[in-house]
Amino acid sequence: MSERLSVFKTYKLFVGGKFPRSESGRVYEVTDSKGKWLANAPLSSRKDARDAVVAARKATGGWAGATAYNRGQILYRVAEMLEGRRDQFVAEVADAEGLSKSKAAAQVDAAIDRWVWYAGWTDKIAQVVGGANPVAGPFFNLSTPEPTGVVAVVAPQESSFLGLVSVIAPVIAVGNTVVVIASEKAPLPALSLGEVLATSDVPGGVVNILSGKAAEISPSLAAHQDVNAIDLAGADAELSKALQIAAADNLKRVLRPQAVDWSADPGTDRMTAFLETKTVWHPTGSLGAGGSAY
C-alpha cells in the first residue's frame, strides 16, 4: 500500500457567513516563526473589504435587534465550539507565534474564557452604562446604550488569537457587527475562527474576517462612509495616523491603539467604546404635579 498523502487545508476568508476566496484571486505565503511555510492565505483586496462591509451592514438589524440574552447564548456557544477544537487552535497558535505547546494552550484557554466573559456581559452592560437620570422636571429620563453599527477592526499583529478574540468579542457582544483584518503575519488562527463562528449560531455577516495587508485594506475601511467606527488595535504609528485622518472625514468613532496586556482582565472599555447613548424623556404627568419624587 502506498503512503497516504495528507490533505492541505485551503484557508479562506469569512464574509457574510460564507467562505469566499479573495475576489482578487491573490494569496500570500504564511510561515511559522522560523520561516517554514505553513499555508497560503488569501490576500484580500479593497473590494473584499467593501463586500465585507455590505455583509456587515446587512447583518446589523438582526444582530442589534436580537435580545441581549440571546446574544449571550450565542457567544457562549462560540466558547463551546472552540473548546471542541482546542487542539487544532493550540497547534495553529504554537506555529503562528512560535510558542511552546503549553504556552499556546494557555493562550487558547484564555481566548475561550474571554468568549464566556463577554457572553456574560451582553445583558449586563446596559445596567452599568445606562440608567435613570435625575432631571429638573416632571420626566422620567432614561439613558440606554445602543450599538454603534458596523465596526472595522485592525486586529493585533502579535497576539494572533487571544488578541483577535479580545478585540472582536466586545464589539459583537454589545450588538455591533464587525469587519476584522487579521494579523498579517499570522492569519491562520483567525481564518480558522471563521469556521467556529459559522457553526455557533452567529448570524452570517456579524463577523467578517479578512486576511492580507492591513496597510492595503484598512484605508478604504477607514474612509468608508458606511463604517461607523474603527478600532486601530493592530495598526502601527504611521498607519494609525493615516487611518485617523481618513476616518475624520465622516466622523467615525476611533479607538486609538494602546499598549494592552491581552492576558489581563479586559474590563468594559472595549465594549463601551462602540456604544452610543440614547436618552428618552418621558413625561410623568400627574405624578409630577402631585409632588412625587418623579
Nearer of residues 225 and 258 to another protein, judged by Cβ: 225
Alpha-carbon Rg for the chain in angstroms: 21
What is the C-alpha separation between 35 and 164, in angstroms, rounded? 22
What is the C-alpha separation between 283 and 213, in angstroms, rounded? 53
What is the C-alpha separation between 16 and 198, in angstroms, rounded? 10
CB of 197 to another protein, least distance (A): 24
Pair 188, 14: CB distance under 8 Å? no
Amino acid, single-letter form, for residue 209: I
CB of 143 to another protein, least distance (A): 24
Percent of the chain that is helix, strand, coil (3-state, to 5) = 45, 20, 40
Q: Which residues of 192-228 are buried (b: 16+ CB within 10 A; e: fewer)?
A: bbbbbbbebebbbbbbbbbbbebbebbbbbbbbeebb
CB of 249 to another protein, least distance (A): 7
Amino acid, single-letter form, for residue 284: T
Closest by Cα among 41, 48, 47, 13 to 27: 41
CB of 53 to another protein, least distance (A): 7
Nearer of residues 53 and 191 to another protein, judged by Cβ: 53
Q: How many CB atoms lie within 10 A of CB 233?
A: 24
Q: Given the rule CB under 8 A, which residues bind another protein?
A: 50, 53, 57, 220, 223-227, 249-250
Q: Please list, in sequence order, all residues whose beta carbon lies within 8 angstroms of the beta carbon of residue 61, skipping any fewer than 6 positions away.
A: none
CB of 54 to another protein, least distance (A): 9
Pair 16, 205: CB distance under 8 Å? yes
CB of 287 to another protein, least distance (A): 39
Nearer of residues 25 and 291 to another protein, judged by Cβ: 25
Nearer of residues 64 and 260 to another protein, judged by Cβ: 64
Nearer of residues 108 and 247 to another protein, judged by Cβ: 247
CB of 223 to another protein, least distance (A): 4
Q: Give 166-196 as a DSSP string.
A: HHHHHHHHTT-EEEEE--SS--HHHHHHHHH
CB of 183 to another protein, least distance (A): 24
